[in-house]
């Protein structure tokens, strides 16, 4: 295992002034991907300008995976100049999976025009409480596992057939905890059988639909692993996800700068724990005012690989999965001159918003 490739296991957020640093690391093959936030781009044009700037000279294909949260509804990073649709909870209430598939297709087609390769959607969680946990409000397709599963699968198929990879999140389910892992660790005391028979239903549907990526939650599930949240848990990643469900795609953590992890681990330590647990890519949003630079984070991972503080064979397998993902999905280049929002997409969105606005107030 070449330690210089270890940075492929990182997906990072960045500030505008760090763009040259990101591109330098990408040119050296030392960084796996980036995630766009509203601090980078709020409009389609701004997003396309950024992704275009990340293309390496003389290359037709980007060297980085470009990801974004474009779930629709309340979580939608790029808004200006994009077609916006009703959110997942409204699509779940409409209960027409074919419509969900069409929405996902149009979302993906527009993202592809911007040079985005991975949409961190759909949410496959099942809200258990009434009202829904605030972190999931409007973001999940519903409480019924089989109905949610149909919509999750429809989203995956619609998006991926349009050329943008999907990411089912937050494995193995975030719906049974009332709190917010952005702030602190949450514990789900569900029995193992409930997790397997209920909360995994939408994820299994995503796997059967061929979802390219899965995001792990920062929730602690004592029935699965009493010592670590899912994002840092070998039993969850290597056991439940890889062996029990058979998923062989890309495994990504939720943002390791979130309070659930950051309250007890430094960013570098969290990244290394995630890699040791079997994760393919550690997501570091870098929204905190303090923390390591992108280069120093990459160097920490490279140092750990050289010192064999993380299993070299496992790192090699993850690097191969990242590179395979890039070969399959990260071939789109931005075409900022293209028509966005797409007229047909806007017509569909208009019809759907009129339909949901006609519902009686509850």
Give me 191's structure tokens: 């029995």
Predicted pLDDT at 277: 97
Among residues 188, 254, 255, 280, the one annotated as catalytic is 254
Report the distance separating Cα 47 and Cα 41, nearest Å. Answer: 5
Strand intervals (E) in the chain: 10-12, 33-36, 65-68, 70-72, 75-76, 118-119, 165-171, 186-187, 213-216, 219-220, 250-253, 282-284
Arithmetic mean of pLDDT, 335-355: 84
Mean pLDDT score of the chain: 92
Residue 254 is a catalytic residue:
yes
**Which position has the token pair 């670590």?**
228
- The model's pLDDT over 287-325, given as tens digits with 9 standing for 90+, comes to 765 678 999 999 999 999 999 899 999 999 999 999 999
User: 333 lies in a domain?
Assistant: yes
Show the domain range for 195: 3-356
Q: Residue 192: give its domain's CATH number.
A: 3.20.20.300
- Count of the separate structural domains present in the chain: 1
Per this entry, what is the length of the chain? 362
Arithmetic mean of pLDDT, 87-100: 97
User: 161 lies in a domain?
Assistant: yes
Q: Is the pLDDT assigned to residue 337 strictly greater than 60?
A: no
- The model's pLDDT over 125-152, given as tens digits with 9 standing for 90+, comes to 999 988 888 889 999 999 999 999 999 9
Give me 225's structure tokens: 């692993």
Q: Do residues 83 and 313 lie in contact, with contact meaning Cβ atoms separated by under 8 Å? A: no
- The model's pLDDT over 44-80, given as tens digits with 9 standing for 90+, comes to 999 999 998 887 655 545 589 999 999 999 999 999 9
CB-count exposure of residue 159 (10 Å: 0-12, 13-18, 19+): buried
User: 361 lies in a domain?
Assistant: no
User: 292 lies in a domain?
Assistant: yes
User: 362 lies in a domain?
Assistant: no
Among residues 49, 144, 182, 269, the one annotated as catalytic is 182
């Amino acid at each position: 295992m070449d330690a210089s490739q270890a940075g492929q296991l990182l997906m990072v957020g960045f500030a505008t002034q760090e763009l040259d640093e990101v591109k330098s690391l990408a040119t050296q093959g030392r960084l796996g991907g980036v995630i766009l936030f509203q601090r980078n781009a709020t409009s389609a044009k701004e997003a396309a300008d950024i992704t275009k700037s990340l293309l390496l000279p003389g290359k037709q294909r980007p060297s980085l995976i470009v990801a974004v949260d474009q779930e629709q509804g309340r979580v939608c990073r790029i808004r200006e100049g994009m077609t916006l649709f009703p959110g997942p909870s409204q699509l779940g209430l409409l209960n027409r999976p074919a419509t969900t598939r069409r929405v996902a297709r149009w979302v993906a087609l527009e993202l592809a025009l911007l040079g985005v390769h991975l949409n961190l959607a759909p949410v496959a969680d099942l809200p258990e409480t009434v009202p829904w946990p605030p972190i999931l409000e409007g973001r999940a397709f519903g409480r019924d596992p089989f109905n949610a599963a149909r919509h999750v699968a429809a989203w995956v198929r619609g998006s991926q057939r349009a050329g943008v990879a999907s990411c089912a999140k937050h494995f193995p389910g975030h719906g049974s905890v009332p709190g917010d892992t952005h702030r602190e660790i949450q514990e789900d005391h569900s029995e193992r059988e409930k997790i397997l028979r209920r909360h995994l239903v939408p994820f299994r549907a995503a796997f059967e639909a061929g979802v390219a990526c899965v995001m792990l939650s920062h929730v602690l599930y004592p029935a699965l692993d009493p010592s670590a949240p899912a994002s840092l848990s070998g039993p969850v990643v290597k056991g439940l996800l890889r062996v029990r469900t058979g998923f062989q795609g890309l495994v990504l953590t939720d943002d390791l700068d979130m309070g659930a992890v950051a309250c007890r681990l430094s960013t570098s330590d969290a990244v290394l724990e995630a890699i040791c647990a079997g994760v393919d890519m550690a997501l570091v949003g870098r929204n905190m005012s303090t923390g390591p630079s992108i280069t120093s984070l990459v160097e920490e991972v490279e140092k750990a690989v050289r010192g064999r503080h993380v299993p070299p064979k496992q790192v090699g397998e993850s690097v191969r999965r990242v590179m395979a993902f890039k070969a399959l999905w990260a071939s789109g280049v931005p075409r900022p001159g293209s028509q966005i929002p797409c007229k047909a997409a806007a017509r569909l969105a208009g019809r759907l918003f009129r339909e949901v606005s006609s519902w009686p107030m509850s």
